[in-house]
Amino acid sequence: MGVSFAIPIDVAMEVVAQLKGQGYVARGWLGVLIQEVNKDLADSFGLDRPYGALVAQVVEDSPADQAGIQTGDVIIEYEGEEIDFSSELPQLVGRTKVGDKAKLKVVRDGDEKSVSVEIGELPTDESASALQNKPQVEKTNRIGIKVRELDHETLDDLNLDGGVHVIQVESGAAREAGIKQGDIITRLNNQKFTSVKEFQKVVESLPSDRAVPALIVRQGSPSFIVI
């Protein structure tokens, strides 16, 4: 077809060495779900420009969890190498030997922090999740949505410790941000909530005329958006 593909020789030699030594290839694993940082997210997280890998979820008992990495952290360096795009991080982690310690630099609440992580082995299987409902509905709030609380089964299935389920989206800031009916909001302006009442307090305390980050779960996958 006139198309060819190439990989760096050092990557090929690493694979060959692992196949010779143990019969399979073990890839490094951090245990985070990440997303790209755009300009709006950079502004809302206090970054001077869009770069790094934004942590949308930390897998329970993963190397990242044990090292204290948190949802909302922006990983900007891995072993001294700056992360310009989120896609660069999995490649760096994957090539790190299982059991080795890696130094990360993250931005948390506007401050840079250094974190040491012992890299684990990438699991071979992943699980999917489904969404369900529960009563207790709130009236439309100042961002233009109605929500209700999550039941225990949904919390367990999605491994969540709180959040609310969006049941209606009207005209307003939430719709403009891309929030849809069926989304689960687990954080707003970096604040957690476990009930509709707590969510309402967070919404009422939001600053005016300023973008704030929101962590949503859609079809089982978490991601940050800007409202």
Which listed CATH number (2.30.42.10, 2.10.60.10, 1.20.1250.20, 3.30.110.40) goes with 24-121?
2.30.42.10
Residues 184/165, Cβ–Cβ less than 8 Å: yes
- pLDDT (0 to 100) of residue 132: 35
Average of pLDDT values for 165-171?
88
Alpha helix stretches (DSSP H) within the chain: 9-22, 39-44, 63-67, 88-94, 152-157, 173-177, 196-204
In words, the CATH class of domain 145-226 is mainly beta
pLDDT digits 0-9 by tens, 53-98: 999 989 888 999 999 999 999 999 999 999 999 999 998 999 898 8
One fold for 24-121 and 145-226: yes
pLDDT tens digits along 131-144: 333 344 455 688 98
Average pLDDT over residues 14-37: 89
pTM of the model: 0.65
Confidence at residue 140, expressed as pLDDT on a 0 to 100 scale: 65
B/e letters for 106-123, b = 16+ CB within 10 Å, e = fewer, are bbbeeeeeebebebbebe
What are the tokens at 129?
A: 């999740």
- Specify the higher pLDDT residue, 12 or 124: 12
Domain map (residue ranges) of the chain: 24-121, 145-226
The residue ranking higher by pLDDT, 54 or 209, is: 54
Say whether 158 sits in a helix, a strand or coil.
coil
